[in-house]
Amino acid sequence: MKTALATVTISGSLQEKLRAAAQAGFDGVEIFENDLTQFDGSARDVRLMAEDLGLEIIALQPFRDFEAMPEPWRSQNFYRAQRKFELMHELGTRRLLICSNVSPHVIDDRDRAAADLHELAELARQQDFIIGYEALAWGRHVADYDVAWDIVKRGDHPNLGIILDSFHMFARGNTLDVLRDEIPIDKIALVQVADAPRLQMEVLHYSRHFRCFPGQGDLPVVEFVQCLKDKGFDDYLSHEIFNDEFRSSSPLEKAVDGMRSLIWLEEQTSVAPEQPAQPEITDVEFIEFAVEGDSGDELVQLLQNLGFRETHKHRSKNVSLMRQGDINLVLNREPLSQAHEHYQAHGVSICALAFATTDLGAMLARTERYRSTRFANQAGPGELNIPAIRGIGDSLVYFVERPGKFRFFDIDFVPLTDVGETAVGLQRIDHIGQTVSNTDFLSASFFYKSLFGFEVEASTDLPDIYGLVVSRVAKSRDGRVRIPLNMTAAREASAQRFIHKAKGSGVQQIAFACEDIFAAAGAVGADKLLPIPQNYYRDLDARFAPEPDVLARMRSLNILYDRNDDGEFFHFYTREAHGVFFEVVQRIKDYDRYGEANAHIRMASQARQYRRDEGL
Ligand code: MG
């Protein structure tokens, strides 16, 4: 399949859009006419610009309110079409996209619509152009693609075909039956693949604001492309995405997301032998913090309270390792490093996650195929050169192969002696909460879904006392790596305070798993933990009626609780250090959630703590 992008999909000037599309690797672009009308050069300049960038201009769009109009509009429309044909010659494109008529004057007559399209297609034939006809989901008389297909059939002209836009089809609840059974591929003038979350709202508003790239939403775009492929379709798949966040983001970042989604679609619809076995992410190998000098003292103190001790020092760099159970936390103070750059831009922060993978070579090949940016790390002689890609925000994602004879710290680090036993029973990383800006939210979840095959859950709303936080979890196939992603539009909500403080998207929360939450909380000391109001425990008693002594211990140690049909969940939070906070959890039986019911209690307490600390 060839790949294209309608210029309306991304932000910026026409030059910026074309450059971003080319850089992301697209073969072609649809020129959205507003982008051309705003442009201060000629159509010929656009053609040259696209040629220089190796982009084909696959269509001019949209041409509105054309078919089945009474006079004088009908004559005016043919005049308008002739002017657009002139423009198409200058642009060097052969395809004109006509979307179904929304005018109050349009006549409800399929034969008349077909006759107009036939006449236009005959004019197009004389200039070697193609007319594509698309059903807009809010078209006045033509809103479904089977009706558009009926009109194209009646129009019966070799230069007239149907344009299929998956958003319009699925927003109207259309099935793929007519496409599968009736439409020959030589009558498909263009295919636009757009996804969207499942929402109930007026369809024009839905289309203009909530479309997203395939794989980022809930529509059956994979089935749609599979159906096309089964018919032998092998032409352009084009993105035409209207999305508020996309149009306020970096054009290149969104163009790369768009390319990534087409690669993902290709993979989802490939027959098995063509598809390389997907390497798995099996665990979090380490988490790296960027600190400088004693700037991280508050963080180190908090980690010490949680029972971590420095157990290893790097052989050649100013990097130390704090361990407990199978948890590895790397503190990087090295100048001239990515960590240092991260520190300068974001302060004390988490600058990298390292994932264990079953097949390092395959994983790196996969990240390359998905247009990830590799990061060149510097390793000393005899040290591991741990490969990395750019992750969420400015952070990195490292990859380490497991099982191996050695762990990364066996090679690059020297163990310290006389460390002493201070552990409080934390065993492994349970989940990592990343807080992202609104414009990063879809990108971040699709990053995990497409590159690593993580399952991305539907979004849920968490009520912060200063606004709503939207959350969705990306989870590895075996569930060992869990990454809740949070965002908010509310200025004072905890997620936004973090974004402001950290100057961008990043890890705000790390949760550790233990097997005895009371022992862990007792060892940490209740005064180090996020205070939980007494009212919470009265409510807990009313809801779950725990044993009185268990409830009393939870209250004294600021431990929260949840229960469902699968099991039970105990958890507590630390206070924040540098905007980051830690959680300790104990999962009983098959409890697989995150205590979401308690999130509002946590956020209210954090807000109270913040206002106290800031003297507000
Ligand atoms: Mg469309």
pLDDT in tens, 217-247: 999 999 999 999 999 999 999 999 999 999 9
**Homologous superfamily assigned to 2-268:** Divalent-metal-dependent TIM barrel enzymes (3.20.20.150)
Q: What is the pLDDT of residues 163-191, one digit of tens each?
A: 999 999 999 999 999 999 999 999 999 99
Query: Residue 195 — very low, low, confident or very high, per pLDDT cuts 50/70/90?
Result: very high
Distance CA 473, CA 445 (A): 8
**Residue ranges matching CATH 3.20.20.150 in the chain:** 2-268
Look up residue 240 and give its two tokens.
């035409």
CA of 121 to the centre of ligand 1 (A): 19
CA of 204 to the centre of ligand 1 (A): 12
CA of 196 to the centre of ligand 1 (A): 13
Query: Residue 277 — very low, low, confident or very high, per pLDDT cuts 50/70/90?
Result: confident
Backbone φ and ψ of 463, nearest 5°: -85, 105
The confidence score (pLDDT) of residue 539 equals: 97
Residue 274 has pLDDT above 70, yes or no: no
Q: Mean pLDDT over all residues of the chain?
A: 95
CA of 511 to the centre of ligand 1 (A): 43
pTM over 0.85: yes
**Least confident span in 19-28, 251-260, 357-366, 412-421:** 412-421
The confidence score (pLDDT) of residue 272 equals: 63
CA of 134 to the centre of ligand 1 (A): 7
The confidence score (pLDDT) of residue 169 equals: 98
CA of 472 to the centre of ligand 1 (A): 28
CA of 284 to the centre of ligand 1 (A): 41
- CATH number for the domain whose boundaries are 284-415: 3.10.180.10
Helix, strand counts (H, E) of the chain: 21, 26
Q: What is the pLDDT of residues 324-375, one digit of tens each?
A: 999 999 999 999 899 999 999 999 999 999 999 999 999 999 999 999 999 9
Which residues, 6 or more positions from 351, have their beta carbon under 8 angstroms from its beta carbon? 288, 289, 290, 332, 338, 339, 342, 343, 394, 395, 396
CA of 531 to the centre of ligand 1 (A): 52
Give the pLDDT mean for 4-32: 97
The confidence score (pLDDT) of residue 475 equals: 97
Q: How many residues are present in the chain?
A: 616
Residue 105 has pLDDT above 70, yes or no: yes
Give the pLDDT mean for 132-143: 98
Distance CA 279, CA 285 (A): 16
CA of 240 to the centre of ligand 1 (A): 6
Q: What is the pLDDT of residues 475-499, one digit of tens each?
A: 999 999 999 999 999 988 999 999 9
**Residue ranges matching CATH 3.10.180.10 in the chain:** 284-415, 426-613
**Is residue 303 packed enough to be buried (19+ CB in 10 Å), middle (13-18) or exposed (0-12)?**
buried
Q: What residues flank ion ligand 1 with Cβ within 5 A? A: 165, 192, 240
Residue 314 has pLDDT above 70, yes or no: yes
CA of 445 to the centre of ligand 1 (A): 25
The confidence score (pLDDT) of residue 273 equals: 58
**DSSP secondary structure of 297-364:** HHHHHHHHHTT-EEEEEESSSSEEEEEETTEEEEEE--SSSHHHHHHHHHSSEEEEEEEEES-HHHHH
Query: Do residues 211 and 194 lie in contact, with contact meaning Cβ atoms separated by under 8 Å?
Result: yes
Distance CA 294, CA 330 (A): 15
CA of 252 to the centre of ligand 1 (A): 22
Query: Residue 418 — very low, low, confident or very high, per pLDDT cuts 50/70/90?
Result: confident
Distance CA 42, CA 571 (A): 63
The confidence score (pLDDT) of residue 383 equals: 74
CATH of 426-613, picked from 2.60.40.1180, 2.30.40.10, 3.10.180.10, 3.40.50.2000, is: 3.10.180.10
The confidence score (pLDDT) of residue 406 equals: 84
CA of 365 to the centre of ligand 1 (A): 33
CA of 231 to the centre of ligand 1 (A): 21
Query: Do residues 591 and 569 lie in contact, with contact meaning Cβ atoms separated by under 8 Å?
Result: yes
